[in-house]
Amino acid sequence: MNSFNGIAFRADTEVPVKAVIDYLCARGDVDASRIAAYGGGEGGGYIMTRAVAHEHRIAACVVDPLVSDMEPIAPLFFAHVLPGTADKESLASNAATVLPLIWGLTSPEAIKKMKVDTSTITCPTLGLNDSRDYPELLQQARDGIARIANKTTDLHMFTPEDGCFYRQLDNFGLKHRVMFDWLDEVFGNQR
């Protein structure tokens, strides 16, 4: 466990997510049977994939992308997305310094704990990927989705033909339409 500004990162993300779900379920204005969760980016994809593998009160989950094993993914992310240089301060170099602390990636042992058995996920899960993602990330998404027993689970692959830049950064409307249409279908089937 590592600390960032007094907040500890946990590889077992189901623990803090359980606290959030406990809070939501205690509220009178929340339908506890219809709680959906979203995790975005490699870190958020891991956090929510791991959380829903253990926290079965979540009724639906969207992961963008699904990450079931951070060990092979984190080095790719830092090499290709945050390739900051040591001699020049930049957004990338600053993020490359901070993200390992936030994700708890300060030691090789910490990252080895960041794994998920997706066969324990019981809720409908939507994985979102870009067809241009790293091959390792695409394979994890395919394998992870295939192991989820819930038949409403799906993998949506965005392609250049969708008219989007990488990870729909220039077309959140399309991403949101896919996500919310899927959630409408999931929760519509629960009526």
Residue at 56: amino acid letter: H
Tokens of 45: 């994809």
Mean confidence (pLDDT) of the chain: 83
What residue ranges define each of the domains in the chain, with the CATH number in brackets? 2-188 (3.40.50.1820)
Given this model, what pLDDT does residue 10 score?
Answer: 75
CA distance 149 to 117: 12
Higher per-residue pLDDT: 35 or 87: 35
Q: Tabulate helix, strand, coil % of the chain (nearest 5).
A: 50, 15, 35
CA distance 63 to 118: 12
User: Is this prediction's pTM over 0.85?
Assistant: no
